[in-house]
Amino acid sequence: MKIIKTTKELIEAVNEVKKTKTIGLVPTMGALHGGHLSLIKKSVNDNDFTIVSDFVNPTQFGPNEDYERYPRTLEEDAKLCKDAGCDILFAPSPDEMYSNMKDTTLVCPSYNDVSKLCGKSRPGHFDGVATIVSKLFNLAKPNRAYFGQKDAQQLFIIKKMVRDLNFDIEIIGCPIVRESDGLALSSRNRYLNEENRKRALKLSKALFTIKDLYKNGVNSAETLIDTALTILDGEDIDYFEILDLSNFEKIDIINKDCIALCAVRFPQKDGTIRLIDNMVL
Query: How many alpha carbons fall within 13 Å on the CB side of residue 204?
Result: 16
- Alpha carbons 281 and 279: distance in angstroms, whole number: 6
> Among 21, 16, 23, 31, which Cα is nearest to 185's?
31
Q: Which of 4, 10, 24, 36 is catalytic?
A: 36
Catalytic status, residue 36: yes
23 DSSP β-pair partners: 49
DSSP alpha helix (H) spans, the chain: 7-17, 34-46, 74-84, 94-97, 111-114, 117-121, 125-140, 152-164, 194-199, 201-215, 221-231
What one-character-per-residue DSSP string does 94-157 give? HHHH-SSGGG-------HHHHSSHHHHHSTTHHHHHHHHHHHHHHHH--SEEEEETTSHHHHHH
* CA distances from residue 36 to 81, 136, 156, 174, 177 in whole angstroms, order as listed: 9, 17, 18, 10, 9
As a whole number of angstroms, the distance between CA 267 and CA 35 comes to 25
Residue 219 burial class via C-beta count within 10 angstroms: exposed 0-12, middle 13-18, buried 19 and up: middle
Q: Left, alpha or beta for 233 (phi > 0: left; psi -120 to 50: alpha)? A: beta
Sign of the alpha-carbon torsion through 87, 42, 178, 223: positive
Which residues are known catalytic residues? 36
